[in-house]
Amino acid sequence: MKKCFLLLAGIAGLIASPVLADDRYQSRPPVIVSPDLTAPWINQLGGARVQPVVYPRAPAPVVAQQQPRGLFAPRVVHPLFGGAPVQQVAMGRPGIPAIQGHLDPQFLPQVVDYQTKERPGTIVIDTNNRFLYLVMEGGKARRYGVGVGKPGFEWAGAHTITRKQEWPDWTPPSEMLSREAAKGHYLPAHMEGGEANPLGARAMYLGSTLYRIHGTNAPWTIGNAVSSGCIRLRNEDVTDLYDRVKVGTRVIVM
Protein backbone atom coordinates (compact mmCIF):
# COMPACT_ATOMS: atom_id res chain seq x y z
CA MET A 1 0.00 0.00 0.00
CA LYS A 2 2.85 2.30 0.91
CA LYS A 3 4.59 1.58 -2.39
CA CYS A 4 1.43 2.47 -4.32
CA PHE A 5 1.21 5.80 -2.48
CA LEU A 6 4.83 6.73 -3.32
CA LEU A 7 4.30 5.78 -6.96
CA LEU A 8 1.21 7.99 -7.25
CA ALA A 9 3.06 10.91 -5.61
CA GLY A 10 5.93 10.56 -8.09
CA ILE A 11 3.58 10.58 -11.09
CA ALA A 12 1.86 13.71 -9.76
CA GLY A 13 5.23 15.45 -9.37
CA LEU A 14 6.22 14.65 -12.96
CA ILE A 15 2.96 16.10 -14.24
CA ALA A 16 3.25 19.28 -12.16
CA SER A 17 6.99 20.03 -12.67
CA PRO A 18 6.79 21.44 -16.25
CA VAL A 19 4.13 23.87 -15.11
CA LEU A 20 6.25 25.01 -12.17
CA ALA A 21 9.30 25.31 -14.41
CA ASP A 22 7.37 27.39 -16.93
CA ASP A 23 6.10 29.63 -14.15
CA ARG A 24 9.59 30.07 -12.73
CA TYR A 25 11.23 30.96 -16.06
CA GLN A 26 8.48 32.96 -17.72
CA SER A 27 11.02 35.84 -18.03
CA ARG A 28 14.20 34.21 -19.24
CA PRO A 29 17.50 36.04 -18.71
CA PRO A 30 19.10 37.48 -21.84
CA VAL A 31 21.79 35.55 -23.62
CA ILE A 32 24.90 37.72 -23.84
CA VAL A 33 27.24 37.10 -26.72
CA SER A 34 30.09 38.99 -28.34
CA PRO A 35 29.12 40.89 -31.49
CA ASP A 36 31.62 38.90 -33.51
CA LEU A 37 29.82 35.62 -32.68
CA THR A 38 27.24 35.94 -35.42
CA ALA A 39 27.22 32.31 -36.45
CA PRO A 40 23.89 30.68 -37.50
CA TRP A 41 23.61 28.82 -34.20
CA ILE A 42 22.30 32.05 -32.63
CA ASN A 43 19.10 31.56 -34.61
CA GLN A 44 18.59 28.25 -32.80
CA LEU A 45 18.24 29.81 -29.37
CA GLY A 46 14.48 29.35 -29.51
CA GLY A 47 13.34 32.94 -29.12
CA ALA A 48 15.83 33.86 -26.42
CA ARG A 49 16.58 37.57 -26.31
CA VAL A 50 20.09 38.14 -27.63
CA GLN A 51 21.89 41.16 -26.17
CA PRO A 52 25.23 41.83 -27.89
CA VAL A 53 28.06 43.17 -25.81
CA VAL A 54 30.31 45.82 -27.33
CA TYR A 55 33.83 45.54 -26.01
CA PRO A 56 35.95 48.73 -26.15
CA ARG A 57 38.78 48.58 -28.64
CA ALA A 58 42.31 49.16 -27.45
CA PRO A 59 43.71 52.48 -28.70
CA ALA A 60 45.89 52.22 -31.76
CA PRO A 61 49.59 52.26 -30.89
CA VAL A 62 51.34 55.58 -31.43
CA VAL A 63 54.11 55.17 -33.97
CA ALA A 64 56.93 57.64 -33.52
CA GLN A 65 57.76 59.54 -36.67
CA GLN A 66 61.15 58.67 -38.01
CA GLN A 67 63.53 61.59 -37.84
CA PRO A 68 66.59 61.98 -40.02
CA ARG A 69 69.70 60.67 -38.36
CA GLY A 70 73.23 61.90 -38.74
CA LEU A 71 75.42 64.87 -38.01
CA PHE A 72 73.00 67.47 -39.36
CA ALA A 73 69.72 65.97 -38.15
CA PRO A 74 67.44 68.28 -36.13
CA ARG A 75 67.88 67.75 -32.45
CA VAL A 76 65.34 68.17 -29.67
CA VAL A 77 66.34 68.21 -26.03
CA HIS A 78 63.77 66.80 -23.62
CA PRO A 79 62.83 69.09 -20.70
CA LEU A 80 63.86 66.36 -18.23
CA PHE A 81 67.33 66.03 -19.75
CA GLY A 82 69.47 68.52 -17.95
CA GLY A 83 66.56 70.91 -17.50
CA ALA A 84 66.91 72.29 -21.03
CA PRO A 85 63.52 73.04 -22.60
CA VAL A 86 62.74 71.96 -26.12
CA GLN A 87 63.78 74.58 -28.65
CA GLN A 88 62.12 74.71 -32.05
CA VAL A 89 63.94 76.44 -34.87
CA ALA A 90 62.35 78.34 -37.73
CA MET A 91 64.77 79.50 -40.38
CA GLY A 92 64.42 81.83 -43.33
CA ARG A 93 66.56 82.90 -46.24
CA PRO A 94 68.10 85.30 -47.04
CA GLY A 95 66.76 87.37 -44.11
CA ILE A 96 67.51 86.82 -40.47
CA PRO A 97 66.09 83.44 -39.37
CA ALA A 98 63.64 83.47 -36.48
CA ILE A 99 64.29 81.37 -33.40
CA GLN A 100 61.41 80.15 -31.29
CA GLY A 101 61.86 78.64 -27.88
CA HIS A 102 63.98 79.21 -24.82
CA LEU A 103 67.63 80.13 -24.44
CA ASP A 104 69.40 80.97 -21.21
CA PRO A 105 69.01 84.77 -21.07
CA GLN A 106 72.70 85.27 -20.38
CA PHE A 107 73.45 84.10 -23.93
CA LEU A 108 71.13 86.61 -25.57
CA PRO A 109 72.72 89.73 -27.12
CA GLN A 110 72.99 92.57 -24.60
CA VAL A 111 75.06 95.63 -23.84
CA VAL A 112 77.19 95.16 -20.72
CA ASP A 113 79.90 96.99 -18.79
CA TYR A 114 83.26 95.86 -20.11
CA GLN A 115 86.62 97.32 -19.15
CA THR A 116 89.41 96.60 -21.63
CA LYS A 117 92.42 98.21 -23.23
CA GLU A 118 91.24 97.05 -26.66
CA ARG A 119 89.97 99.68 -29.07
CA PRO A 120 86.25 100.00 -29.84
CA GLY A 121 85.31 97.72 -32.72
CA THR A 122 87.59 94.90 -31.49
CA ILE A 123 86.10 91.45 -30.95
CA VAL A 124 87.16 89.64 -27.77
CA ILE A 125 86.07 86.02 -27.32
CA ASP A 126 86.04 84.55 -23.80
CA THR A 127 85.98 80.81 -24.56
CA ASN A 128 85.83 79.78 -20.89
CA ASN A 129 82.60 81.68 -20.25
CA ARG A 130 81.21 81.26 -23.80
CA PHE A 131 80.89 84.98 -24.57
CA LEU A 132 81.88 87.16 -27.53
CA TYR A 133 82.33 90.86 -26.82
CA LEU A 134 82.21 93.59 -29.45
CA VAL A 135 84.01 96.46 -27.71
CA MET A 136 82.14 99.77 -27.66
CA GLU A 137 82.94 103.31 -26.45
CA GLY A 138 82.61 104.29 -22.79
CA GLY A 139 83.55 100.99 -21.13
CA LYS A 140 80.71 99.08 -22.76
CA ALA A 141 80.52 96.07 -25.04
CA ARG A 142 77.87 94.24 -26.96
CA ARG A 143 77.91 90.66 -25.67
CA TYR A 144 76.76 87.51 -27.50
CA GLY A 145 76.56 83.91 -26.36
CA VAL A 146 78.72 81.51 -28.38
CA GLY A 147 79.58 77.86 -28.83
CA VAL A 148 83.31 77.10 -28.74
CA GLY A 149 85.80 74.32 -29.46
CA LYS A 150 85.24 71.03 -27.70
CA PRO A 151 88.02 69.50 -25.57
CA GLY A 152 91.07 68.96 -27.70
CA PHE A 153 90.10 71.75 -30.11
CA GLU A 154 90.62 74.77 -27.87
CA TRP A 155 92.88 77.54 -29.10
CA ALA A 156 93.79 81.13 -28.34
CA GLY A 157 95.39 83.94 -30.28
CA ALA A 158 94.87 87.18 -32.15
CA HIS A 159 93.78 87.41 -35.78
CA THR A 160 91.88 89.72 -38.08
CA ILE A 161 88.77 89.13 -40.14
CA THR A 162 90.07 88.61 -43.66
CA ARG A 163 86.82 87.69 -45.41
CA LYS A 164 83.06 87.83 -44.84
CA GLN A 165 80.48 85.63 -46.51
CA GLU A 166 76.69 85.46 -46.45
CA TRP A 167 75.25 81.92 -46.44
CA PRO A 168 78.73 80.46 -46.87
CA ASP A 169 79.56 77.18 -48.56
CA TRP A 170 81.31 74.57 -46.46
CA THR A 171 84.25 72.38 -47.47
CA PRO A 172 85.27 70.23 -44.49
CA PRO A 173 89.05 69.85 -44.18
CA SER A 174 90.45 66.39 -44.86
CA GLU A 175 91.31 65.93 -41.17
CA MET A 176 87.67 66.42 -40.23
CA LEU A 177 86.46 64.07 -42.95
CA SER A 178 88.74 61.32 -41.67
CA ARG A 179 87.98 61.99 -38.03
CA GLU A 180 84.21 61.90 -38.49
CA ALA A 181 84.36 58.87 -40.80
CA ALA A 182 86.10 56.97 -38.01
CA LYS A 183 83.03 57.71 -35.85
CA GLY A 184 80.62 56.57 -38.56
CA HIS A 185 79.71 60.13 -39.67
CA TYR A 186 80.33 60.58 -43.37
CA LEU A 187 80.50 64.26 -44.22
CA PRO A 188 79.99 65.69 -47.70
CA ALA A 189 83.14 66.83 -49.47
CA HIS A 190 81.37 70.13 -50.15
CA MET A 191 78.07 71.66 -49.13
CA GLU A 192 76.38 74.66 -50.70
CA GLY A 193 75.31 77.48 -48.42
CA GLY A 194 71.79 77.27 -47.04
CA GLU A 195 69.64 76.39 -44.06
CA ALA A 196 71.11 72.89 -43.70
CA ASN A 197 74.69 74.13 -43.85
CA PRO A 198 76.41 73.94 -40.43
CA LEU A 199 78.06 77.35 -41.01
CA GLY A 200 74.65 78.97 -40.83
CA ALA A 201 73.69 82.37 -42.18
CA ARG A 202 77.01 84.23 -42.01
CA ALA A 203 80.73 83.53 -41.69
CA MET A 204 83.74 85.71 -40.86
CA TYR A 205 87.07 84.07 -41.66
CA LEU A 206 90.02 84.57 -39.31
CA GLY A 207 93.35 85.20 -41.02
CA SER A 208 94.84 82.22 -42.82
CA THR A 209 93.48 79.74 -40.27
CA LEU A 210 90.64 77.27 -40.78
CA TYR A 211 88.72 78.98 -37.98
CA ARG A 212 85.67 81.16 -38.47
CA ILE A 213 83.07 83.06 -36.54
CA HIS A 214 79.87 81.72 -38.04
CA GLY A 215 76.22 80.91 -37.52
CA THR A 216 74.73 77.51 -36.84
CA ASN A 217 71.74 75.35 -37.70
CA ALA A 218 71.99 73.89 -34.19
CA PRO A 219 71.23 76.86 -31.89
CA TRP A 220 70.80 74.57 -28.87
CA THR A 221 74.62 74.22 -28.82
CA ILE A 222 75.17 77.85 -27.86
CA GLY A 223 76.91 78.04 -24.49
CA ASN A 224 78.65 74.70 -24.98
CA ALA A 225 82.01 73.40 -26.16
CA VAL A 226 80.96 71.51 -29.28
CA SER A 227 82.83 72.76 -32.36
CA SER A 228 86.14 71.83 -33.97
CA GLY A 229 87.56 75.19 -32.97
CA CYS A 230 85.25 77.62 -34.75
CA ILE A 231 83.20 80.16 -32.82
CA ARG A 232 79.47 79.80 -33.50
CA LEU A 233 76.51 82.08 -32.78
CA ARG A 234 72.80 81.80 -33.38
CA ASN A 235 71.97 82.79 -36.95
CA GLU A 236 70.24 86.04 -36.00
CA ASP A 237 73.12 86.96 -33.68
CA VAL A 238 75.86 86.28 -36.22
CA THR A 239 73.90 88.31 -38.77
CA ASP A 240 73.75 91.22 -36.31
CA LEU A 241 77.50 90.97 -35.61
CA TYR A 242 78.27 90.59 -39.32
CA ASP A 243 76.59 93.92 -40.04
CA ARG A 244 78.55 95.68 -37.28
CA VAL A 245 82.11 94.66 -38.21
CA LYS A 246 84.33 95.03 -41.25
CA VAL A 247 87.11 93.10 -42.91
CA GLY A 248 90.26 93.95 -40.96
CA THR A 249 88.52 93.82 -37.55
CA ARG A 250 90.87 92.58 -34.82
CA VAL A 251 89.72 89.36 -33.10
CA ILE A 252 91.23 88.17 -29.82
CA VAL A 253 90.44 84.63 -28.66
CA MET A 254 91.34 83.78 -25.08
Instruction: Say if CB 154 and CB 163 are below 8 A apart.
Output: no
* Residue 72 neighbours by CB under 8 Å, 6+ apart: 196, 198, 217
CA 186 remoteness from chain centre:
22
Sign of torsion over alpha carbons 180, 182, 186, 187: positive
For 38, 66, 91, 108, 176, the CA distances from 76, given in Å and listed in that order, are 50, 13, 16, 20, 25
State yes or no: is 78 an active-site residue.
no
Please state, in angstroms and rounded to a whole number, the distance separating the CA atoms of residues 8 and 232. 109
Output phi, psi for 111, to 5 deg.
Answer: -90, 130
4 is catalytic: no
User: DSSP label at 227?
Assistant: E
Please tell me which residue in 4, 78, 190, 214 is annotated as part of the active site: 214
Cα–Cα distance, 221 to 17 (Å, whole number): 88
Residues involved in catalysis:
214, 230
